[in-house]
């Protein structure tokens, strides 16, 4: 029987190859719906509370560099409430964030200081600086523990810890 730590190691080892095989084959309409529904469900309370109003009529490009996958998120008015609309093309981009899946995962799990990821150029942010900072600061306040089932939250921390252990240590 595999131990929990061995399973986590296998996930971290195998997931990039699986993702590189699967992601390009997912039809764009399917990935659009999945990403859009996931974002709107995950950020539902924030959208209703107005915490994401800075995204109203703004478009953010998100690029997963290691998967050569890009999508756009636009804040739209939907029946008087802000919603996030996802597309695979955009006429205008206000801000663009790019990074590999591991670093974006570390940003999301808040296991690495976001400024460190940007300073070390592992994540890039270009375009409207003020909007980019609002997005970065907002993401830094999202508490995964209150949004994920306990087992999923613990697994995300375990995966993040493996990713951190595998990072090359840089001298300051």
Please give the backbone phi and psi of residue 111, each rounded to the nearest 5 degrees, phi first.
-90, -5
Structure confidence by residue, pLDDT tens digits, 74-116: 999 988 899 999 999 999 999 999 998 888 888 888 878 877 7
Tokens of 18: 């699986």
| pLDDT of 168 | 66
Averaged pLDDT for residues 35-50: 94
Provide the pLDDT confidence category of residue 172 given band limits of 50, 70 and 90. Answer: very low
Averaged pLDDT for residues 159-165: 82
Query: Does residue 115 sit within a domain?
Result: yes
Instruction: State the DSSP code for 91.
Output: S
Domain enclosing residue 22, as ranges: 4-166
Q: What is the CATH number of the domain that holds 83?
A: 3.30.1050.10
Query: Does residue 172 sit within a domain?
Result: no
* Angle at CA of residue 162, ends 3 and 172, nearest 5°: 155
Query: Does residue 51 sit within a domain?
Result: yes
pTM of the model: 0.84
Number of domains, the chain: 1
3-state secondary structure of 154: helix
């Amino acid at each position: 029987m595999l131990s929990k730590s061995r399973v986590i190691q296998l996930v971290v080892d195998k997931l990039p190859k699986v993702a590189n095989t699967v992601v390009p084959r997912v039809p764009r309409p399917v990935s659009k719906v999945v990403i859009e529904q996931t974002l709107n469900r995950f950020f539902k309370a924030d959208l209703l509370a107005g915490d994401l109003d800075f995204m109203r009529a703004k478009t953010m490009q998100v690029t997963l560099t290691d998967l050569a996958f890009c999508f756009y998120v636009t804040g739209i008015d939907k029946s008087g409430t802000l919603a996030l609309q996802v597309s695979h093309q955009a006429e205008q981009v206000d801000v663009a964030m790019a990074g590999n899946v591991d670093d974006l995962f570390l940003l999301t799990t808040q296991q690495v200081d976001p400024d460190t990821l940007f300073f070390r150029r592992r994540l890039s942010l270009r375009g409207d600086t003020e909007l980019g900072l609002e997005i970065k600061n907002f993401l830094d306040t999202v508490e995964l523990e209150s949004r994920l089932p306990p087992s999923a939250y613990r697994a995300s921390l375990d995966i993040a810890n493996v990713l951190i252990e595998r990072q090359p240590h840089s001298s300051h």
